Chains A and B, each alone.
Chain A
């Protein structure tokens, strides 16, 4: 990616709160990040840390009520998506921003054939005729590696395997050549060989069409292989952000450090017991007033219990929301990073 290119997507201070019968859930807290054309931003984080809700909030996919989505802005194509009408959002979703949902069965409609579901956005957004849409649908299914694509257009979602349904979702999201693809755990059901094929496809589309990608995954191996930059989420916040190599080589947040230790490997020694991060995730009843990882953190000290750490710039395009300074082995003495600087995309320095 060209350094300093204008971001295609710029998210500033996004917040999502669910009002439920049993109280509020502050699922997303002051999340800011940006995305440049052709770039692949990896998002990792604990289950329940707000990865899906963040991405669904910014394109208006979280029903409100019960949720309240607020923020300084979500800039996309000269528009603020937080202020866009439902109609405008519908036109953007599925055409200019493709979305692959985490759970394919909830977003594929069981009563329509897969072919219909791929062709529909092509006819609606790209105004294709039936024959062209059909040709494109076959091409898309072939791109994501579904054998016998032509015949499978008439099949219903339940006739596909778990991984095939995921690939159908990817095909639908890619149908209209989106500028941004948001893929939420898109390859969890895929074996490594097909995953490699999908990752290769991402690579091509980014290079050819300048498509930017947000890739949510818990698979750090995939992140290592394809991401340019990585966001690490915990308790509804971004706790660390860095270029991919920098993150793996110099993780600076205790959660990230613990996470990297938990990965089992197919190569090298096999551990007798897998490492886990002890303790429970935070409950998110209110906006954070202390560090949300403090209860599980071995480096926790008093300040962490009294203040929610902001994101500190540590150089090399890297920032971390932690009061502990691993380079100094002690508390951090450093001013906060300005919000504007964060939102501008600290990007690919380093």
Chain B
């Protein structure tokens, strides 16, 4: 893992990325607006580091992850992977790059073919992108199953014969098959029990150390993000509102949204649970098709000021490597 100096090479550079989904209405399916799922985000991911991406449900994390891997044709912006601009690259040309960039999906079910055995699912990318012999392939697949904590004896079973958590591990094993460089992990451990979450997180860390992997780790589980991420970006309604090193973010969160988010984490000890001080957010989450005027968070912010309802704050570096988009920090 990387230390805080961020002296490494930038592997992924995202600038002003926008992904808007059109809204159609009426019999003629006229375009009446758009869902601004990702609305201008910028950050770098250094080689060998893990950037955590957190934020509330629907704020655009998955969309951002998918857009960066160009699973969508993006609305606007630039994405450079290893110095190569892939923002406007047409889909067929992206195929060659696919083995180096992988994604572990949020819905394991949707990405597993029910008619293929587990061994076939995990081995599928090997068929497509390597010339392994049958025996080599089998070895690799069994090794991957060990690595993610799936019993080898299950290699010939079908996805429906597995529990939810076991299915998620199948997806992770497959993503790892081609030794990718950059992996977008979209809530990869949400469906797992804590011990297996820990196994998978330890595994991701081991693989990172061994192969210098780079991760974008999307999660709403802040305790896991705190464990695995080197730096953390916090999203709210299509924007990145704060970005800092893990230590900074958890020790001294600056954006009122980050502060509320951290305070809301449930405490796994009923005797402590009652003592935790929480900042409760009031008000409705605005829709990404109608973001409010000014700061996106102004409708729920406990420290809202007049200016927040007028002017959209831009990201500012308030300390080395610590960016915040909030008017409270305008003069620092």
Chain B residues with CB under 8 Å of A271's CB are 227
Contact present for B161 and A18 (CB under 8 Å):
yes
Contact present for A191 and B220 (CB under 8 Å):
yes
Chain A residues with CB under 8 Å of B284's CB are 145, 147
Contact of B56 among A20, A194, A245 (CB under 8 A): A194
With contacts A193-B260, A225-B266, A271-B227 taken as known, whether A25 is within 8 angstroms of B57 at the C-beta atoms is no
User: Bound complex: CA of A20 vs CA of B261, how far in Å?
Assistant: 45
Q: Which of B274-303 contact A (CB under 8 A)?
A: 276, 278, 280-281, 284-287, 289-290
Contact present for B289 and A46 (CB under 8 Å):
no
User: Bound complex: CA of A25 vs CA of B151, how far in Å?
Assistant: 14
Q: Which of A160-215 contact B (CB under 8 A)?
A: 160-164, 166-167, 185, 188-196
Q: Which of B161-183 contact A (CB under 8 A)?
A: 161-166
Contact of A161 among B58, B191, B265, B278 (CB under 8 A): B58
Contact present for A25 and B191 (CB under 8 Å):
no
Chain A residues with CB under 8 Å of B265's CB are 192, 221, 266-267
Q: Interface size (A, Cβ < 8 Å)?
A: 70
With contacts A190-B57, A258-B195 taken as known, whether A162 is within 8 angstroms of B164 at the C-beta atoms is no
> Which residue, B192, B223, B266, B281, has most C-beta atoms of chain A within 10 A?
B266
Contact present for A159 and B223 (CB under 8 Å):
no
Asked if B130 is at the interface (CB within 8 A of a chain A CB), the reply is no
Contact present for B54 and A191 (CB under 8 Å):
yes
Beta-carbon nearest neighbor of A154 in chain B: B25
Asked if B156 is at the interface (CB within 8 A of a chain A CB), the reply is yes
Asked if A136 is at the interface (CB within 8 A of a chain B CB), the reply is no
Contact present for A47 and B268 (CB under 8 Å):
no
Beta-carbon nearest neighbor of B220 in chain A: A191
Contact present for A188 and B190 (CB under 8 Å):
yes
Chain A residues with CB under 8 Å of B319's CB are none
Asked if B5 is at the interface (CB within 8 A of a chain A CB), the reply is no
Chain B residues with CB under 8 Å of A45's CB are 193
Contact present for A266 and B162 (CB under 8 Å):
no
Q: Mark B103-126, 1 if CB is under 8 A from A, else 0.
A: 000111110000000000000000
User: Bound complex: CA of A84 vs CA of B54, how far in Å?
Assistant: 46
Q: Mark A5-30, 1 if CB is under 8 A from B, else 0.
A: 00000000000001010100100000
User: Bound complex: CA of A103 vs CA of B195, how far in Å?
Assistant: 20
Chain B residues with CB under 8 Å of A245's CB are 270-271
Nearest CB on A from B280, distance (A): 8
Contact present for B164 and A163 (CB under 8 Å):
no
Q: Which of A213-260 contact B (CB under 8 A)?
A: 218-225, 244-245, 248-249, 258-260
Nearest CB on A from B240, distance (A): 15
Chain A residues with CB under 8 Å of B162's CB are 48
With contacts A47-B166, A148-B290 taken as known, whether A274 is within 8 angstroms of B201 at the C-beta atoms is yes
With contacts A189-B190, A262-B194 taken as known, whether A102 is within 8 angstroms of B164 at the C-beta atoms is yes
Contact of A192 among B35, B110, B222 (CB under 8 A): B222
Asked if A111 is at the interface (CB within 8 A of a chain B CB), the reply is no
Contact present for A191 and B261 (CB under 8 Å):
yes
Asked if B62 is at the interface (CB within 8 A of a chain A CB), the reply is yes
User: Bound complex: CA of A190 vs CA of B268, how far in Å?
Assistant: 17
Beta-carbon nearest neighbor of A247 in chain B: B270
With contacts A262-B195, A263-B194 taken as known, whether A244 is within 8 angstroms of B270 at the C-beta atoms is yes
Contact present for B202 and A274 (CB under 8 Å):
yes
Contact present for B281 and A193 (CB under 8 Å):
yes
Contact present for B193 and A145 (CB under 8 Å):
no
Contact present for A259 and B195 (CB under 8 Å):
yes
Asked if B127 is at the interface (CB within 8 A of a chain A CB), the reply is no
Asked if B128 is at the interface (CB within 8 A of a chain A CB), the reply is no
Contact present for A266 and B57 (CB under 8 Å):
no
Chain B residues with CB under 8 Å of A85's CB are none
Q: Which of B212-264 contact A (CB under 8 A)?
A: 220, 222-224, 226-227, 250, 260-262, 264
Asked if A280 is at the interface (CB within 8 A of a chain B CB), the reply is yes
User: Bound complex: CA of A20 vs CA of B158, how far in Å?
Assistant: 10
Contact of B289 among A44, A48, A148, A223 (CB under 8 A): A148
With contacts A147-B286, A162-B62 taken as known, whether A188 is within 8 angstroms of B264 at the C-beta atoms is no
Contact present for B289 and A220 (CB under 8 Å):
no
Q: Mark A134-165, 1 if CB is under 8 A from B, else 0.
A: 00000000000101100100000001111110
Asked if B139 is at the interface (CB within 8 A of a chain A CB), the reply is no
Asked if A330 is at the interface (CB within 8 A of a chain B CB), the reply is no
With contacts A103-B109, A258-B195 taken as known, whether A163 is within 8 angstroms of B273 at the C-beta atoms is no
Contact of B164 among A103, A166, A224 (CB under 8 A): A103
Asked if B197 is at the interface (CB within 8 A of a chain A CB), the reply is yes
Asked if A270 is at the interface (CB within 8 A of a chain B CB), the reply is yes
Contact present for A188 and B268 (CB under 8 Å):
no
Beta-carbon nearest neighbor of A220 in chain B: B268
Asked if A281 is at the interface (CB within 8 A of a chain B CB), the reply is yes
Q: Mark A263-275, 1 if CB is under 8 A from B, else 0.
A: 1111100110111
User: Bound complex: CA of A199 vs CA of B24, how far in Å?
Assistant: 34
Nearest CB on A from B278, distance (A): 8
A-B contact pairs, 26 of them (CB 8 A): A22-B157, A46-B193, A47-B166, A47-B192, A52-B164, A103-B108, A147-B286, A151-B287, A161-B57, A162-B62, A166-B57, A188-B187, A190-B57, A191-B54, A195-B264, A196-B266, A218-B193, A221-B265, A248-B268, A262-B198, A265-B268, A266-B223, A266-B250, A270-B227, A274-B201, A277-B195
Contacts A220-B268, A274-B227 known; 10 new A-B pairs at CB < 8 A: A22-B157, A44-B193, A46-B193, A103-B107, A224-B268, A248-B270, A249-B271, A263-B194, A264-B223, A274-B198
